[in-house]
Structure 1
Amino acid sequence: MKIRRALATAVAAAVTAPVMLLSVTPAFADTKPVAQTENKSSKPTIKELEAAAAEAQKAYDQAVLAKADALLVLKETLDALDTTHPLAVAAAAAEQAAKDAATAKTTADQAVTAAKAALEALTEEATEKEKADAEAAVAAAEATAATAATAKTAADTKAAEADEARDDARVAAARAYGVFGKAVDDALAAKIAADAALAQAKKEAEEEEEGEDCEPEQGLTAEVTGLPTKLVAGTTTAFSIRVTNGSDRQMDEIVAYTGVHATDKSGLNDTGKFFRLQWSSESSPKWKNVEHDYIDAVGALKPGARTDLKMRLTLDKATPAGNGVAFIAADFYNEDGSCGGTPGADMYEFDVKAAGSKPGKAEDAKPKPKPSTTTGSGGNGSGHQPQGSTSGTPASNGSLAATGSSSATTSIALAGGAAVLLGAAAVFVVRRRKTGSDA
């Protein structure tokens, strides 16, 4: 039995982008229910994908230029806020006024001290007028000092307010520039998605062969247990995958799909090279590396039967902190030519901690719920795809085992230095043919 690896390529391309748009063009997203698409192809043409890729490239180039212009504006604004900007002028004036007020207060305080010293220096022979004049001098000096103190407090307040206003302007300028940076990230993500979809379509057009479509099989499931939501670089984590044939049909050959992908905190850099995924089973206890995200030696399953795969995921000590996802699915192939698979891939999210980190208590990762493919009620009540999920919207029957066209869109967006997934979404448009495909 021969198998194409289209899903692995699509998912790997998708998870390396920080924000993958669900649709570069309307042709990329088929929101019709499976029942409406089984006998109708919604696959975009290569010409349409080329046009989408060209538009995505143009949008990205424009975003890069806009960001460069915005950087110049930011530098000019920051320079002006240190020199000629009205806020800079106001801050300088307020600072000078505060210095002048401080000097005046110091002079007034010294006058009080001198007046008091003169009063104390009077002898018993001093006349009443001399005493009265000295006391009046002290009172006048103290009044002047009080006024100077009040003026200094007011000047200090104005200086602080002027500095704060200038600092606020600096922050506002930086935030304005950040908008252009995000626009570049979004445009790059869209470009990556468009280029990947075009490349995949061209590849599959070259490999297109005649054959009957495989079928989605709801009874075939692949469930993960023991995969924690936090992994630490330099450690090995053991978990398992249980593949169950809950249908009433014999499945002669089962293939498990186990795609593990990760990025650093920026969301831009693929860190998969630091991961090593291995498997073993009761019939094949020796640990083996997972090749091309597939395990081809699961074996056959009778109706109602199940089998467990032992998995271990090792992270190199050099693995950067970031975020990861594991995509789990299964396909089956029968000697009579029938084939099929799970209707979609379950996605499990996890955080990657730097070597030596204390992850604390970590729960087992749970598969993200698959969204409704309609625009009516269901799922989250809106019919829209929730963040952090995968969905199958097949061009033909939707089986992961079908061959033909494939594209995947996923998002791993990060919130600053906190390893929190703001959103992850994947759209699989997969159609594999069961005859004449690659091994």
Structure 2
Amino acid sequence: MKLRRALSAAAAVAALGSASLLAVPTAHATGNAPSATAEPSPSPTYTRPAFCSGIPDEERGKTGLRGLPGTIVAGSGWHEFTYRVTNVSTVTVMETVISLYPGTADPDLDDIAELGMTVEWFNPEAGTWKPIEGEGAEPLDNDDFATLGMVKPGEHTDAAMRIKIAKTAKAGTGYFFTHGYSYGEDDQCGFDEISQFDFTVVSAR
């Protein structure tokens, strides 16, 4: 399933082209507890259907990042932000599996790793931060890294996130693609559209 989703996400990324949304800066976060609201995992009373038909040309769980800093100084520590899923449909979304893919189009960078980023999400069940990108993360940990619970039409659910940039990072620009896979109460499921959020890393002074 992860391979299929990764391939589908890659195709969607290619179709997205150069469209981008600039994120709003947030204050530097300190301490171990997230300031963003971390919603609990899906309700144990919900069981995914063994088979669900594809969602007909309709986005349901709109994914996005809130509070991702537009500019991050290398070595400035952790910065918290929120991964949000908003139900933009008329059907209750029972679960949304979320992914976060980093990338860069900066001609001065050879690889996204040069930005020296580490990204973590707060697992409310375990009460701990879990790396999904960079230091401490395994390959593909950013793919399907969390499942958010029920969202009624017009409402949203959040996951607490944080990012830090190594002091030795190279200055440059990067972006994140957010992507979700939604399961509806009508037993229809499928991929939601990808959104892009840009950020810039500046060298420590």
Task: Verify same fold: TM over 0.5.
Answer: yes
User: Pick from 49, 54, 71: which aligns with 1:230?
Assistant: 71
Considering fraction of residues, name the structure with more helix.
1
Q: Distance in 1 between matches of 2:119 and 2:159?
A: 12
Q: Does 2:96 match 1:246?
A: no
- In the alignment, which residue of structure 2 is the partner of 1:173? none
- Aligned residues with identical type, % of pairs: 29
| Structure 1 portions without partners, runs of 5+ | 15-21, 23-210, 358-439
CA gap of 1:236–1:7, structure 2 versus 1, over 3 A, is: farther
Q: Summarize deviations over 1:276-329 as a string: whole Å, max 9, x none.
A: 111126556421122133333222323343211111012222211111001123
Q: Which has the larger radius of gyration?
A: 1
Q: RCO greater where, 1 or 2, for CA within 8 Å and sep 6 or more? A: 2
User: Which amino acid is 1:349 matched to?
Assistant: D
- In the alignment, which residue of structure 2 is the partner of 1:287? 129
Q: Distance in 2 between matches of 1:233 and 1:9?
A: 29
Task: Please give the secondary structure, in 2, of the residue aligned with 1:294.
Answer: coil
Q: Distance in 2 between matches of 1:309 and 1:255?
A: 11
CA gap of 1:244–1:272, structure 2 versus 1, over 3 A, is: farther
CA gap of 1:218–1:212, structure 2 versus 1, over 3 A, is: closer
Q: Distance in 2 between matches of 1:9 and 1:273?
A: 22
Q: Distance in 2 between matches of 1:275 and 1:245?
A: 30
Considering fraction of residues, name the structure with more strand.
2
TM-score scaled by length of structure 1: 0.32
Q: Give the 5 Å matches for 1:310-321.
A: 310-321=160-171
Q: Distance in 2 between matches of 1:279 and 1:7?
A: 23
| Structure 2 portions without partners, runs of 5+ | 18-51, 133-140
Q: Distance in 2 between matches of 1:341 and 1:284?
A: 27
Task: Please give the secondary structure, in 1, of the residue aligned with 2:150.
Answer: strand
CA gap of 1:277–1:268, structure 2 versus 1, over 3 A, is: same
Q: Does 2:178 match 1:328?
A: yes
CA gap of 1:325–1:8, structure 2 versus 1, over 3 A, is: farther
User: Pick from 266, 279, 284: which aligns with 2:108?
Assistant: 266
Pairwise CA distance, 1:339: 0.5
CA gap of 1:228–1:275, structure 2 versus 1, over 3 A, is: same
When the two structures are aligned, how many residues end up with a matched partner? 158
The two structures, once aligned, show a CA RMSD in angstroms of: 3.2
Task: Please give the secondary structure, in 2, of the residue aligned with 1:254.
Answer: strand
Pairwise CA distance, 1:334: 4.5
CA gap of 1:264–1:321, structure 2 versus 1, over 3 A, is: farther
User: Which amino acid is 2:101 matched to?
Assistant: G
Q: Distance in 1 between matches of 2:8 and 2:73?
A: 25
CA gap of 1:242–1:270, structure 2 versus 1, over 3 A, is: closer
Q: Distance in 2 between matches of 1:336 and 1:247?
A: 12
Q: Distance in 1 between matches of 2:125 and 2:153?
A: 19
Runs of 4+ in 1 over 6 A off after TM superposition: none
Pairwise CA distance, 1:257: 2.2
CA gap of 1:329–1:273, structure 2 versus 1, over 3 A, is: same
Pairwise CA distance, 1:230: 1.0
CA gap of 1:260–1:269, structure 2 versus 1, over 3 A, is: closer
Q: Give the 5 Å matches for 1:398-409.
A: none
Q: Are the counterparts in 1 of residues 112 and 174 from structure 2 also a CA contact under 8 Å?
A: no
CA gap of 1:283–1:247, structure 2 versus 1, over 3 A, is: farther
Task: Please give the secondary structure, in 2, of the residue aligned with 1:242.
Answer: strand
Q: Does 2:188 match 1:346?
A: no
CA gap of 1:5–1:289, structure 2 versus 1, over 3 A, is: farther
